[in-house]
């Protein structure tokens, strides 16, 4: 069954209930200022499209932060309602809670077209995937739209269970569509050669995706602190580098597979005695006892760039070093620069890789920068997500 997107829906004179990911970062000073509006901005094409179809009401829902099932006003969606009203030029009514008895009356009234339900995660039923809670939310709308790609890997009430109540009337939004189509290019017969680049800090977080990728990639380039458990597992000295015993065990497991031949590791390193130190070039595999590896070295950059030259598909997750420190950002930025010049389908996914690519200033030259973080990695691991499956096949 095909997934239906908003362009196939009929919203004219309907109450549309839509799930977005408005989980934006707020200023730590308690002023409620949104420090990065990207997530709201990414939802605007879907919101504007629905409004152009002349619905009766658009009822928007989202979570913000981790209030853990309790009403904590620092996680109120009030700043989001204010920002939406500004960018859409229309009033946005924020409800007192998402299960307020008055919501049904408000929907019947003619005043505001745009309603934002207060934070779904003020109720633990949301993350529990509670059916009654999903049913209550579903009663606000005639049609359901899912555009919260960043939470589509969760079986929550508003991202999954609710779809049960809209068996023929559930649609994916434009953001979800863009993400699914881009990720399908990686999952579904990627153009060859397909080169994966994995960095970041922990093997345990990424073991499943490494195992999955090793089947489909031609080569998997490893960088960042991710490299040291593999080097240690191969008998090399990693000095004081980040390297957890559990990760060394997992690395040994992966290296026991014949697919290990596809893995390429750093051949030199930038090191220091501590992350605040100046960079020393260690031009060999072994890192001295008093040093920690904090970036890939220049020979590794050259080697990786050579491999990348012929790529037709590139997937990158995780920085090549401690890129937040200028002394150790060269590897990450060099790889960002080099993939931005390729004539290939390039996809960057996962929180830190996205901030690294934004910091390097080449994000507009990447085919797709996935905003999904966990959701995009899970999509690559499993070839789909629960929220996407539910839109396609429904929920029993």
Q: Alpha-carbon distance 71 to 120, whole Å?
A: 10
Q: Which is nearer to ligand AMP, 171 or 323 (CB)?
A: 323
Exposed / middle / buried, residue 204 (Cβ in 10 Å: 0-12, 13-18, 19+)? middle
Q: Which is nearer to ligand AMP, 95 or 371 (CB)?
A: 371
288: which residues sit within 8 A by CB, 6+ positions away?
237, 239, 271, 282
Bridge-based pairing of strands 292-296 and 269-272 is antiparallel
Which of helix, strand or coil describes residue 344? coil
b vs e for 49-75, b when ≥16 Cβ sit within 10 Å of the residue's Cβ?
Answer: bbbebebbbbbbbbbbeebeeeeeeeb
Catalytic residues: 39, 202, 351, 374
Shortest distance in whole angstroms from residue 151 CB to ligand AMP: 19
Shortest distance in whole angstroms from residue 26 CB to ligand AMP: 21
CB count, 10 Å around CB of 208? 14
Q: Which is nearer to ligand AMP, 129 or 319 (CB)?
A: 319
Shortest distance in whole angstroms from residue 68 CB to ligand AMP: 23
- Asked if 375 and 153 count as a contact pair (C-beta separation under 8 A), the reply is yes
| Most distant pair of Cα atoms in the chain: their distance | 72
Shortest distance in whole angstroms from residue 132 CB to ligand AMP: 36
Shortest distance in whole angstroms from residue 324 CB to ligand AMP: 5
Shortest distance in whole angstroms from residue 358 CB to ligand AMP: 14
Q: Which is nearer to ligand AMP, 131 or 244 (CB)?
A: 244
- Asked if 300 and 251 count as a contact pair (C-beta separation under 8 A), the reply is no
Instruction: Extract the tokens encoding 317.
Output: 């997750």
Instruction: Extract the tokens encoding 220.
Output: 């998997």
Q: Which is nearer to ligand AMP, 3 or 183 (CB)?
A: 183
Comparing CA positions, the residue from 32, 145, 123, 134 lying closest to residue 81 is: 32
Query: Count of alpha carbons within 13 Å of 76, Cβ hemisphere only?
Result: 14
Shortest distance in whole angstroms from residue 385 CB to ligand AMP: 20
- Asked if 229 and 277 count as a contact pair (C-beta separation under 8 A), the reply is no
310: which residues sit within 8 A by CB, 6+ positions away?
193
Q: Alpha-carbon distance 283 to 58, whole Å?
A: 60
Comparing CA positions, the residue from 180, 152, 134 lying closest to residue 4 is: 180
Backbone angles phi, psi at 51, to 5 degrees: -65, -35
Looking at beta carbons, which residue is closest to ligand AMP?
200
- By CB under 6 A, name the binding residues for ligand AMP: 200-202, 205, 224-225, 242, 293-294, 318-319, 321-324, 350, 352
Q: Which is nearer to ligand AMP, 197 or 201 (CB)?
A: 201
Q: Which is nearer to ligand AMP, 293 or 386 (CB)?
A: 293
């Amino acid at each position: 069954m095909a997934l239906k997107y908003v362009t196939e829906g009929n919203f004219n004179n309907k109450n549309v209930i839509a799930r977005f990911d408005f989980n934006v970062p707020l200023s730590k000073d308690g002023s409620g200022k949104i420090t990065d509006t990207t997530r709201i901005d990414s939802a605007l094409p879907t919101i504007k499209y629905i409004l152009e179809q002349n619905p009766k009401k658009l009822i928007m829902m989202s979570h913000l932060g981790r209030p853990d099932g309790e009403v904590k006003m620092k996680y109120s969606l009030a700043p989001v309602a204010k920002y939406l009203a500004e960018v859409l030029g229309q009033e946005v009514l924020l409800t007192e809670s998402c299960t307020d008895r008055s919501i049904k009356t408000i929907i019947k009234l003619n005043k505001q077209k745009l309603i934002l339900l207060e934070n779904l995660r003020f109720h633990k039923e949301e993350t529990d995937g509670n059916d009654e809670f999903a049913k209550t939310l579903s009663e606000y709308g005639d049609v359901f739209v899912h555009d919260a790609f960043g939470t589509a890997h969760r079986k929550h009430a508003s991202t999954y269970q609710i779809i049960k109540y809209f068996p023929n009337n559930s649609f994916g939004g434009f953001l979800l569509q863009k993400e699914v189509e881009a990720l399908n290019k990686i999952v579904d017969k990627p153009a060859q050669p397909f080169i994966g680049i994995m960095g970041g800090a922990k093997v345990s977080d990424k073991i499943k995706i490494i195992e999955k990728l090793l089947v489909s990639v031609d080569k998997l380039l490893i960088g960042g602190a991710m490299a040291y458990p593999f080097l240690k597992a191969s008998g090399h000295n990693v000095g004081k580098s980040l390297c957890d015993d559990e990760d060394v065990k997992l690395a040994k497991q992966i290296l026991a597979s014949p697919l290990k031949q596809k893995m390429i590791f750093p051949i030199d390193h930038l090191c220091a005695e501590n992350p605040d130190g100046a960079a020393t070039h260690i031009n060999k595999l072994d890192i001295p006892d008093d040093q920690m590896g904090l970036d890939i070295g220049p020979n590794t950059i050259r080697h990786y760039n050579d491999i990348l030259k012929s790529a037709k598909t590139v997937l990158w997750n995780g920085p090549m070093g401690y890129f937040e420190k200028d002394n150790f950002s060269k590897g990450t930025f060099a790889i960002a620069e080099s993939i931005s010049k390729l004539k290939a389908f390039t996809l960057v996914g996962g929180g830190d890789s996205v901030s690294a690519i934004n910091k390097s200033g080449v994000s507009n030259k990447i085919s797709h920068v996935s905003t999904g973080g966990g959701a995009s990695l899970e999509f690559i691991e499993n070839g789909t997500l629960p929220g996407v499956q539910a839109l396609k096949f429904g929920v029993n």
